[in-house]
Structure 1
Amino acid sequence: MPDRPPPKPPTRAPGRVKEVTSASNPLVKDIRALAQKKHREETGLFLVEGLKLVIDGLDAGWELSTLVIAKAASDNPLLAKTAARAVASGADVIEASAKVLEAITRRDNPQSAAGVFRRRLASLGEIDLSGKAVAVVLDRVRDPGNLGTVLRTADAAGASGVVLVGDTVDPFSLETVRATMGSIFAVPIARAKEAEFLTWRSRIKGLVVGTHMRGETDYRAPDYGAQPVLLMMGNEQAGLSDALAETCDVLVRIPQAGRADSLNLAVATGVMLFEARRGVLAL
């Protein structure tokens, strides 16, 4: 499937610029509430920290709702340019005191900018599995750092998407977004219940490879380069569910020489991704 430009957000009226100096301001309270999963789901919004991530989101065509900038740094040329870009796109800009930024990011010495973006999730049908595409399936991943690192690694390896199956950590939690280092905006993410995923998987034409303690095949053995691939990675403690393991074409194992009986989920996913993409990345 040829690369397509990111969808353009709908045209909106220009945003407004406001100065906020109190952490008790209702606008600040609403943004702080995005630390809660319930509030993110109710509003459809999430928070990112840092000017780079804000720019990454804008460049990728994601809808920015609010940009918070440090008033003390408002004369920074790139920050000023981004603020003007945000207003032109319809987002509000809050010029905040250091105290307000600390309250929003829950950090001492916060960065000069934070952005509130509208969430975007893909459907299973939007995950590209044509040609030699590789997508990752994560079964009940619970650690936000692991998920963020997997998304960043999937972006680096050129994966076509990440599918979250079952009860997983929220990909738009602040901890996960931090760990993606901006890749939250680059990798399509789909969520599905196990039964829904299995129905979709039954229609997939390609190679489905799962890592498993019972795997007897070396992870380097499958022919990843001749067809689309789904890499299925299990929960940090329990591994793949029985239903997901049974739907794999092959269960593989990553050889280890030390005393550890398993690899960290994000590390194992990175190993699998770069092996599956080795032929493509070598070009």
Structure 2
Amino acid sequence: MPREITAYSNPLIKRVRNLRDKRHRRDEGLFLAEGLRILTEARETGRLPQFLFYARESAQHPLVRALIADVESAGGEAIETVPDILSKLSGKDNPQAVVGVFAEFTRTLDSLDRTSADIWLVAERLRDPGNLGTILRTGDAVGAGGLILIGDCVDPFSVEAVRASMGALFTVPVVQCD
């Protein structure tokens, strides 16, 4: 049975809100993803959030119900809340119907099977999260084996980069290296 949180002062709301900051994401090993499309894409790749926050009004949508069921069956927690709290979590005035908290999934250069694809994307010192999202979506569209980020690049798990990827973060492997 999903629990309900409607208070801004709830410790979990404060903890999740802090994930918008890189330092807290690194400390926790968690990141935020928002929107039904992105969370459905993640679900289709086998990645489920540890926490799923959803608006009370969206609870009857079939995709939201499927997410709730899958998250709970995988041992995660589904939390019903109000749009104002979703707005606080996402940092947007017009929040999406769902916000998920995922474990970061990092890969190393050595873990990539370079023979698995004909196309690999490489970016050096990529700074803009919107550009990262565009590159990930393009890589997804052309069947790239992954994206290799070299040097001081934008955090692929930032809220802005995840949003810009429109779910491609879950389908295109990303490696960060020097």
Is the pair's TM-score, using the shorter chain for normalization, greater than 0.5?
yes
Equivalent position of 2:89 in the other structure: 104
Query: Structure 1: which 5+ residue stretches go unaligned?
Result: 1-15, 194-283
Alpha carbon RMSD of aligned pairs, Å?
1.4
Query: Structure 2: which 5+ residue stretches go unaligned?
Result: none
The two structures have a TM-score, normalised by structure 1, of: 0.60
**1:128·1:161 contact (CA, 8 Å) conserved in 2?**
no
Q: Which of 107, 111, 119 in structure 2 is aligned with 1:126?
A: 111
Q: Which has the higher contact order (CA 8 A, sep 6+)?
A: 2
Does the residue aligned with 1:33 lie in a helix, a strand or coil? helix
**1:49·1:105 contact (CA, 8 Å) conserved in 2?**
yes
1:131 deviates by 7.0
* Counterparts in 2 of 1:143 and 1:27: CA distance versus 1, 3 Å: same
Larger radius of gyration: 1
1:66 deviates by 0.3
Answer yes or no: is 1:71 the counterpart of 2:56: yes
**2:117·2:143 contact (CA, 8 Å) conserved in 1?**
no
Equivalent position amino acid for 1:25 in 2: N
**2:43·2:67 contact (CA, 8 Å) conserved in 1?**
no
Answer yes or no: is 1:19 the counterpart of 2:8: no
**1:166·1:192 contact (CA, 8 Å) conserved in 2?**
yes
1:30 deviates by 0.9
Answer yes or no: is 1:189 the counterpart of 2:174: yes
Q: Which of 95, 105, 116 in structure 1 is aligned with 2:101?
A: 116
Point out 4+ residue stretches in structure 1 off by more than 3 angstroms: none
Equivalent position amino acid for 2:87 in 1: E
Q: Which of 162, 171, 185 in structure 1 is aligned with 2:156?
A: 171
Equivalent position amino acid for 1:21 in 2: T
Q: Between Structure 1 and Structure 2, how many residues are aligned?
A: 178
Q: Which has a greater percent of helix?
A: 2
CA distance in 2, matches of 1:101, 1:115: 10
Answer yes or no: is 1:93 the counterpart of 2:78: yes
Equivalent position amino acid for 1:90 in 2: G
* Counterparts in 2 of 1:161 and 1:140: CA distance versus 1, 3 Å: same
Can you list the C-alpha shifts for 1:218-257, whole angstroms capped at 9, x where unaligned? Answer: xxxxxxxxxxxxxxxxxxxxxxxxxxxxxxxxxxxxxxxx
**1:62·1:118 contact (CA, 8 Å) conserved in 2?**
no
The two structures have a TM-score, normalised by structure 2, of: 0.94
Equivalent position amino acid for 1:144 in 2: P
CA distance in 2, matches of 1:132, 1:116: 30
* Counterparts in 2 of 1:97 and 1:158: CA distance versus 1, 3 Å: same
1:35 deviates by 0.5
**1:86·1:92 contact (CA, 8 Å) conserved in 2?**
yes
1:53 deviates by 1.2
Answer yes or no: is 1:80 the counterpart of 2:65: yes
